[in-house]
Amino acid sequence: MYQEIHAKISQYSSIVIFRHQRPDMDALGSQIGLKHLILENYPHKQVYMVGDMNEKYHFLASMDEVTDEVIQNSLAIIVDVAVMNMISDERYLLAKEIIVIDHHQNDCDLPQATHYQNIKAAAACQMMVEFAMENHLTVNPDCATALYSGIVTDSGRFLFSLTPELFQCAAFLVQQGAQTRLIYDRLYAENLKDKKMKAYFTQKFKTNGQGVAYLFNKQSEIDRFEVDVATISRGMVGVMANIEGIEIWANFTYDKSSDKVLGEFRSKRIEILPIAKKYGGGGHALACGATLDNFKVAKQVIADFTKLVQGA
Ligand SMILES: [Mn+2]
């Protein structure tokens, strides 16, 4: 597979790299990393990157301006996505040839594209490293940093999909000069205000001693931190997550605009969606929510969660 990709790239003097909309670090890392890889090993090729950009990730690179005419004479490489409606910049359709390099499980719905897939890869960036290693390509430090950033984020900082291959790729990138500190500082540094706000809600939440934790938040608390209601409602429910002995946690926040109480519910493993639905809400099995009339109803929700934990 990786030799075939290499052969395709060799055939074109101009290449445009695409990826999915609202890019995460893996989409950008694989896009930027591949551009570096090609330019480093084929300095005479023209390589461009296109797509919408997330301001937070500008530190790695910015996108290129590309005319339709350039794309018409190029190989389009689409990374970290294989479905048409998620690709940012639909002009890949103009290209002479399209290849897709992706690690997601789903099939590719571009009939005219060649699909290169490795569902065992934790990240599209891992596929780029495998591609580089198999073809003995030179990886410069900027390339290594971009690829490492996708590996570290898509693997949840080495929590998910931990294979020997993933660690081999990470080790290789560190050997090539990946700036791991830069990535961690940029991606995982919190601002002071957010940290203090989380500390406030962490101090404040209560538990019923029976496996349920909860927060009741007033308008004055939203005002105090000068944020919108979602920043508290959806943003602070996580302060009660991953705590020993707490199975279900709920964040209830007064919403001035609707004069209702927004409930955000989370659970480690007990399905809580039926309770959210009972109160007119919805979502996922372990992460859902409902809009309630008042805090009195919120107390009934907590009672329902308590019964769920007792019955589990
Ligand atoms: Mn990915």
pLDDT at site 55: 77
- pLDDT above 80 (res 92): yes
Q: Quote the pLDDT of residue 180.
A: 94
Query: How many whole angstroms from 26 Cα to the centroid of ligand 1?
Result: 5
Q: Of the candidates 149, 114, 144, which has an alpha carbon nearest to the alpha carbon of residue 129?
A: 144
Assigned token pair, 102: 């992706």
137 contact partners, CB below 8 Å, separation of at least 6 = 37, 40, 41, 131
Residue 186 pLDDT grade (very low, low, confident, very high; cuts 50, 70, 90) = confident
Q: What is the pTM of this model?
A: 0.73
For 124, how many CA atoms within 13 A lie in the half-sphere containing its CB? 28
Strand partners, 27: none
| Tokens found for residue 16 | 């445009």
C-alpha distances out from residue 162 to 153, 155, 201, 202, Å: 13, 8, 33, 31
pLDDT of 19 over the 80 cut:
yes
Query: Can you tell me the mean pLDDT for 97-120?
Result: 93
Band (pLDDT 50/70/90 cuts) for residue 230 is confident
Average of pLDDT values for 144-158? 94
102 Cα to the center of ligand 1, angstroms: 8
Percentage of the residues of the chain whose pLDDT score is greater than 90 = 84
Model pLDDT, residue 91:
97
CATH match of 195-311 with 3.10.310.30: yes
Express each pLDDT in 35-89 by its tens digit: 999 999 999 999 999 999 977 788 889 999 999 999 999 999 999 999 998 999 9
Fold match between 2-188 and 195-311? no
CA of 87 to the centre of ligand 1 (A): 13
Output the CA 155–ligand 1 centroid distance in Å.
9
Q: Give dist(CA 309, CA 312) in Å, integer.
A: 5
Cα separation, 216 vs 35, in Å, equals: 49
Summarised one tens digit per residue, pLDDT across range 290-301 is 999 999 999 999
Contact assessment for residue 96 and residue 75, using Cβ atoms and an 8 Å cutoff: yes
Question: How is the chain split into domains, by residue range?
Answer: 2-188, 195-311
- Whole-angstrom distance, CA of residue 49 vs CA of residue 76: 10
Q: Give the integer Cα–Cα distance in Å for 97 and 284.
A: 39
C-alpha 77 – ligand 1 centre gap (Å): 15
Cβ < 5 A residues, ion ligand 1 = 26, 80, 124, 154
User: Nearest 5 degrees, angle CA 256-CA 257-CA 258?
Assistant: 95
User: Where does residue 220 rank: exposed (0-12), middle (13-18), buried (19+ CB within 10 A)?
Assistant: exposed
Check pLDDT > 90 for residue 187. no
In the predicted model, what is the mean pLDDT of residues 96-119?
93
- d(CA 152, CA 29) in angstroms, rounded, equals 10
Q: Residue 236: which region, alpha, beta or left (left: phi > 0; alpha: psi -120 to 50)? A: alpha
- What pLDDT is recorded for position 2? 97
Most confident of the following: 54-58, 228-232, 251-255, 281-285: 251-255
User: 25 CA to middle of ligand 1, Å?
Assistant: 8
Residues 6 or more apart whose Cβ sits within 8 Å of residue 249: 205, 212, 213, 214, 237, 240, 241, 265, 266, 267
Q: In CATH, which superfamily holds the domain spanning 2-188?
A: inorganic pyrophosphatase (n-terminal core) (3.90.1640.10)
